[in-house]
Amino acid sequence: MTKHILHVILRAGLPAFVLMFQTGCSVFQSSRAIDMAPFAENTQLMFAEAAKVSRPVRWSELKEYYSLPVVAGFREKAQPVIRGLRALVMYSNQLVALNMSAKSDKEKNRLLAQYLREAMTKVASPAILDTLGVSPSLLDSVYSDIEHAPEFREGIAAASPLVSAVVLALNRGLDRIDEEVPLAIAAVDREVELKYADKRRNYRGLVRMQTETQYAVTLLYDARKGDRAALSEAMEADPSVREFITSPEKATPAMYKAAEDALTQRLERVDAYLNQLKFEKAAYLAKQEELESLRLGIDEKIKVARNAVAIWAQSHRNLGDGIAVPPLFDVVGMAGGLARKVVPLP
């Protein structure tokens, strides 16, 4: 086959050889076509991930702090990202539907530019786009390139600058959310600690008293068995023992009993107080557990959103370039590398 091609070139001369490349001879040029299946499947994946991100986190034990200003501000910053993800899902579904339609490529590209324009208004405000270097004139230029592309695939490829802008805009929004997470968590934690500060202080004091009293009781037991050093230590450890035993040398069984009874009664009272505080302790621990769960849940949502956007962008570029690749189902694994491959804006 190679010898035949070389024979044709030699017979035709150099001008014909050059013409082969200029005209795109099929011997050397590979054809590109739209492989919509991976993009459609990745759109379904993104829909599922966007639903996870937009699903409100559960505020059960902490619902009394839901209306804190810093928490409300956090929710407000999350809304643009949620709207942006939903807009991408809508645009992607429209793109898939266009490919399946019987419309001409010219009409498909006209509608593609319209759908992308609508999506961009939800993904980022003009002010944010401007900070990313996406001016109104650039937007108009890209939309024009899409509309005037000769083929539908080329119209999709012409959208690449805005695909990069989408990734940058949504990641910037996710960065703002990421920065707010520690502030919101810390604000709720302060409120919880303030509410339970006295109760926790009382609980710690009671536990300390319980431990010290149990130690004194143990020393008295050893003293009754004949360990006089233990009695002196008990009187030092718990001065209340002196109310019943004034001197180790003069201690009597009745004195020991009186001291032990007093300490035992104290242990019973302490135990009753601790039981009363058990409910408060359980409520405090439940709030702290939910707070940590909230933090981890929000961190996971941010990671999912970043990865879903990266996968969507790479899939969109593959679609426009006519690259046939399998769907990128591994959201966490695949997107970690994809996020670093985002084409910067011109």
pLDDT computed for residue 16 by the predictor: 36
Q: Is the pLDDT of residue 156 over 70?
A: yes
Query: Given this model, what pLDDT does residue 33 score?
Result: 66
**Rama region for 233: left / alpha / beta (φ>0; ψ in -120 to 50; rest):** alpha
* In the chain, domain spans: 1-30, 32-193+289-341, 195-284
SS3 of the chain: helix, strand, coil, percent, to 5: 80, 0, 20
Q: Confidence band (pLDDT; 50, 70, 90) for 107?
A: very high
**Position 223 pLDDT exceeds 80:** yes
pLDDT tens sequence across 260-275? 999 999 999 999 999 9
DSSP for 256-307, please give it.
HHHHHHHHHHHHHHHHHHHHHHHHHHHHHHHHHHHHHHHHHHHHHHHHHHHH
Mean pLDDT of 15-36: 43
Instruction: Give the number of other Cβ atoms within 10 Å of residue 153's Cβ.
Output: 21
